[in-house]
Amino acid sequence: MSDTVPQRPPNRSWLVKGVALLLGLIGLILAAGGAWLAILGGSLYYLLAGLGLIGSGALLFRGRPTGAWLYLGIFVLTLIWALWEVGLDGWALVPRVIGPAVLAILVLLVLPLLVPARWGWGKALAAVGAIAVLLIAGGIVTAIAGRSEAGPLPPVLAAAMADPAVMTAGADWPAYGGSYSARRHSPLAQITPENVDRLERAWVYHTRDLPAAGTGDNKYGAQTTPLKIGDTLYLCSAKNILIALDPATGRERWRYDPRVSDEWIPYTAACRGVVYYAVPDSPADALCATRIIEGTLDARLIAVDARSGRPCPDFGNNGQVDIKAGMGPVFPGMVSITSPPTLVRGVLVTGHQVLDGQRRDAPSGVIQGFDAVTGEKRWAWDLMNPTWTADPPPGAMYARGTPNMWTIASGDEALGLVYLPMGNAAVDYWSGSRRPPENEFATSLVALDVTTGEPRWHFQAVHNDVWDYDFGGQATLVDFPANQGSVPALVLPSKQGDIYILDRRTGRPLFPVHERPVPQGGVEPEQRSPTQPFSTYHSLAFPKLTERDMWGMSPIDQMVCRIQYRRAAYEGPYTPPRSDRRSVQYPGYNGGTDWGGIAVDPVRGLIIANYNNMPNYVRLVPRAKADELGWAPRSEARGGDMGGGAEGAGDPQWGTPYAVDVNAGWRLPFTGLLCKEPPYGGIRAIDLRTGRTIWDRPLGTARKNGPWGIPSMLPINIGTPNNGGAVVTAGGLVFIAAATDDLIRAIDIRTGETVWQDVLPAGGQATPMVYEMNGRQYLVIMAGGHHFMETPIGDELIAYALLDDAR
């Protein structure tokens, strides 16, 4: 067959040349990048496809139809290669197929201009329609990706699971986690899967605590879970304004502002919750007979009267206690309380956040216990000075740089124990200067005697942690079903994805925890443990990443991610960080499970765990280079205010040989998309008895996500990053926001299907709560947003209830 060039209307030839130039440009990029990838040992597809596109573009530019047929042949081979590499995995097919399909449509549309006699517009449009059908079918596959049939539900537990807390969830929600057992379970059952579609907004309250207009300060993320006791709802705003509301109407009763200065905001202005305490034997009408207590961003404990909001004069210094006493120098923002203290046997147990990554000699992570009536310090646990029972001796200070507890503890009133999810020693990615007690207690759950502050036992999940795998979520108290009755136990989630079941009296694992070999090396190989603990009960962890797991919106950015993967050090979980090249940490420091924790249905015997599924892309930066870049702690004149960016992105780690640069989520700089294919987050139901997965679903749609930060508004379940937890109810529902799509949703606990949702005015990075007032069940969520999750910031507390005719 001859390849003669037919006569074409000259005013249309530019269309052909435009497509030809586009193919040639894309081909050059793919060929160059593909050659680099091939040299690194990666896929040859990109090199070969790039060369083919260059040839196709050159022929088309010369007006030769062969160029079109060549590209269509490349497209068919691309489809075959994509199916060979990833099968019918909808999300994995997106970068492999969508871009090439769009180019195929363009080629088909210019083909009639080249050979009008043999390839008219009818054939071209038919072929375009076939490709469109192919894309729609792929979209359907993508939309149902990750969906699987729910497994059989476990039998209902034979006996009700007792809660050792003094105050438990019911009509009230008396503690951050429902109770200090942290089950996040409500026995209320008015709202069910059958009537949840009649759920509507009952009221909306504005805290009026937002960044000042025009400041550009975006470091807000309230994260608040209110309490409800009796006829009042209590909460704190992002900057610690205490507020009391009418639970039925949302009308404000009082507010108290402790006046926290902006300079004390660490990464985020956050207040996750408050504490309610009724003073024993106090006259009911006495000032502060019942009180609300919070920790503040400037590291104070504040106590106010629950009825009026007036400071409690008998608590510390006119209602406040400075927990920084004994810590030595503390620069603003370095020490803050963002989580509510835990109350056990009248003792307020508080840790605090120490700003990560700044300096090895950061303030102490000391844990302190204060009398809930007087504010007097009952004890302090400084792990480097275990004989100190309270304040340091004159002239001394609590040991600096020690592991801290920034998150929420849980407690057992009967055993008199408080369970501390401990973090790492100051600076996360260098371990050479850590002291033996720091290595012993870091990244551990520590059970303290609430009377003395002495450790009873501890369980360590990571040895000599250089991955920022500190425990983020509360340990949840359960009665674990056993052959001979039940065992008082803890369900302990982790950032690395393992879930542990521990006897809460002794810390003994009820399921084996195996020590398995892990990768070695890095910048301090002598410090790396040859093994790490792995739970045999359940793991949210994911298969080892491969080059095929790299993603993007087109073959070009997918190729870039493949090159980055091949250049990085990665041998699986616990790959040590390096300075000569990047390393892949999977999962990243957001989990697994972060501060949202888990929820437990104590009747159905189910654990509900939402989780993240993202890697980090990490590199240690030698000190001289970090100094050249100007990376300095916040306490130094040239140290920035962290700018609201991601944790670890240029952390100086002063006092060590290396700073660290963490690309959280492993994102591409030019599109903002993640290098790993979706889903990036999910929610899972687990049989409490066995650790068996009942159902697992992606959590979060793509509606507010897209390249360059442009919302796609697509209702497809992509599974987004998420922060915040779930609450489960006796009515058979799981309520959760947490994801970056700004939705709150109700999930049928039996199937994992979303049965209701509502659009929030800002990000829902908080844990909901449930209560009853005047016979009506309410669901409440704080829509405060979160700068790190890149969701809109807001100040709205929103309450939902059923329409009157639906109850």
Sheet holding 726-729, edge to edge: 185-186, 726-729, 733-736, 743-748, 754-759
Cα 538 from Cα 493, distance rounded (Å): 10
The C-alpha angle 643, 648, 653, rounded to 5 degrees, equals: 100
Tokens of 773: 């007032």
Q: Residue with structure tokens 């503390």?
A: 330
The candidate with the shortest Cα–Cα distance to 292, out of 264, 256, 266, is 256
- Burial of 41 from C-beta contacts in 10 A (0-12 / 13-18 / 19+): exposed
Interacting residues of 498 by C-beta distance below 8 A, sequence separation 6+: 461, 533, 534, 535, 537, 538, 539, 540, 541, 592
The C-alpha angle 729, 730, 736, rounded to 5 degrees, equals: 15
Q: What is the dihedral of CA 344, 409, 298, 222, to 10 degrees?
A: -120
- What are the angstrom distances between the C-alpha of 448 and each of 216, 471, 596, 771? 42, 16, 22, 31
Query: Hey, which residues does 204 pair with through a beta bridge?
Result: 798
Interacting residues of 627 by C-beta distance below 8 A, sequence separation 6+: none
Tokens of 707: 């390249």
Structural element, H or E, at residue 180: none
End-to-end CA distance of the chain: 76
Cα 717 from Cα 754, distance rounded (Å): 11
Which 3 state secondary structure label does DSSP give 624?
helix
Cα 600 from Cα 608, distance rounded (Å): 6
Sheet holding 410-412, edge to edge: 410-412, 417-421, 444-449, 455-460
Tokens of 783: 């829509």
The sign one gets for the Cα dihedral 796, 269, 599, 544 is positive
Amino acid in the structure at residue 519:
P
The candidate with the shortest Cα–Cα distance to 670, out of 556, 592, 579, is 556
The catalytic position among 89, 305, 468, 661 is: 468
Cα 678 from Cα 56, distance rounded (Å): 32
Q: Residue with structure tokens 């990376």?
A: 631
Cα 287 from Cα 504, distance rounded (Å): 37
Q: Is 468 a catalytic residue?
A: yes
Amino acid in the structure at residue 588:
G
Tokens of 191: 């709202």
E strands, 230-362, where? 232-236, 242-245, 252-256, 275-278, 290-295, 300-305, 320-322, 335-336, 342-344, 347-350, 353-354
Cα 467 from Cα 308, distance rounded (Å): 45
CB 704, CB 791: distance < 8 Å: yes
Cα 476 from Cα 459, distance rounded (Å): 15
Interacting residues of 473 by C-beta distance below 8 A, sequence separation 6+: 407, 408, 421, 493, 494, 593, 594, 595, 596, 597, 598, 725
In degrees and rounded to multiples of 5, residue 92 shows phi and psi of -70, -30
Which 3 state secondary structure label does DSSP give 293?
strand
- Active site residue ranges: 468
